[in-house]
Amino acid sequence: MLHAVVPAGGSGTRLWPLSRAQRPKFLLPLTGTDSSLLQATVDRVRLLSRPDHVYVVTGAAHAVDVARQLPEVPGDNILVEPSPRDSAAAISLAAAVIAEREPTAIMGSFAADHLVIDGGAFAKTVEKAMELAATGLLMTIGINPTGPDTGFGYLRLGAPVGPGYQLEAFVEKPDQVSAVEYVSAGNYLWNAGMFVWRVDVFLDQLKRHRPALHDAVRTLAAAWDSNRREALFAQLWPTLEKISIDYAVMEPAAAAGKVGVVPGDFDWHDVGDYNTLGQVLKANDKVGNVIVRGTGDALLSEAKRNVVVPAAGRLVAALGVDDLIIVDTPDALLVCPRDRAQEVKGLVEELKQANRTDLV
């Protein structure tokens, strides 16, 4: 039985105006259904878990929304960080809290803002990772690349082991030439930031590579169900090193031969922008228009391959336009070609510089 941890952080400015500082990507219904990415992630891990074995780690700013979106997750399993201190602190805290309850539990960590359509295939892959995690490896799940993407880090496979491989190395986001090499080489997978391990094994590696972080999250976890939790958080949390879980634990552990990898046999999407969203979701008609489920209607006339988000309860009428992004929200509207979806980030910067913080 898996203890599933869902770190729910990040903003997603390329998904403005739907995503805002107060309404980050993981809270948005970008799944082709009414579920948010967070809700879909929790639904997915529930195939391998029990409701009281699901944990979410999120920031104070989003605790209320997370609680409301996930009424079935026990309150004590929603770990609220007083301030963001990167993924090592968030994931280590969850591991320590789980270890208090079940010292050799197998834990998986799955980001809240990724989209996986086939939950069954996802579960089968995680089960393979659990099998290897039980033997004492820190497991990661690698995605079979669909192309030489430079937006992801890569995992270089080593020797086969059980249903997976040793992980030879984590590889940073490559340039285009290297990405093409990796994909044609065949022994590289995308690093999707999914981890599976026994909490005792993980905490042992954490103690070895980041002892201060280890001691702090252990102290916090030991006081979890006591009245000292808040005071300890106030005292310890601001002192924690801001570092990613990859740098803090996974890379040094990989160098020591302690990390394995299972290839992910499922569609996996980091829905980073509206163009990607349009590629991932099913078209609503035969000419490739994707209408993201919202509160409004869309009327498309002689219009092809557009991504339309009618999220302001209004009619969005598009006539004679192709390959366009149209995102309608109550206080801001975006119109932009799909091939410039990445640049939406720059608009958000412009708004910040113009002091329109009400809109970002």
Residues of this chain that bind a copy of itself (CB under 8 A)? 17, 299, 301, 314-321, 324, 326, 328, 330-337, 340, 343-344, 346-347, 350-351, 354, 356, 359
- Reported residue count of the chain is 360
Nearer to a copy of itself among residue 4 and residue 327 (C-beta): 327
Determine which helix (DSSP H) or strand (DSSP E) holds 57, and give its type and residue range. Answer: strand 54-59
Shortest Å, Cβ 260 to a copy of itself: 43
Shortest Å, Cβ 353 to a copy of itself: 11
Shortest Å, Cβ 21 to a copy of itself: 16
Nearer to a copy of itself among residue 256 and residue 333 (C-beta): 333
Distance CA 305, CA 125 (A): 33
Nearest of 81, 35, 116 to residue 26 by alpha carbon = 35
Secondary structure (DSSP) of 218-246: HHHHHTTTSTTHHHHHHHHGGGS----HI
Nearer to a copy of itself among residue 281 and residue 311 (C-beta): 311
Please state, in angstroms and as integers, the Cα–Cα distance from residue 3 to each residue in 51, 100, 113, 321, following that order. Answer: 10, 13, 19, 47
Tokens representing 93 are 């805290």
Tokens representing 92 are 């280590």
Shortest Å, Cβ 305 to a copy of itself: 14
Contacts of 109 (CB under 8 A, 6+ apart): 5, 6, 7, 91, 94, 193, 194, 195, 196, 245
Nearer to a copy of itself among residue 212 and residue 299 (C-beta): 299
* Crossing angle of helices 211-222 and 86-101, rounded to 10°: 50
Q: At CB < 8 A and 24+ separation, what contacts does 180-184 make?
A: 180/148, 182/145, 182/148, 182/154, 183/145, 183/147, 183/148
Shortest Å, Cβ 265 to a copy of itself: 37
Nearer to a copy of itself among residue 253 and residue 311 (C-beta): 311
Nearer to a copy of itself among residue 16 and residue 188 (C-beta): 16
CA atoms within 13 A on the CB side of 277: 33
Nearer to a copy of itself among residue 177 and residue 317 (C-beta): 317
Nearer to a copy of itself among residue 99 and residue 311 (C-beta): 311
Shortest Å, Cβ 328 to a copy of itself: 6
Shortest Å, Cβ 285 to a copy of itself: 15
Write phi, then psi, for 18 (nearest 5 degrees).
-65, -50
Shortest Å, Cβ 295 to a copy of itself: 12
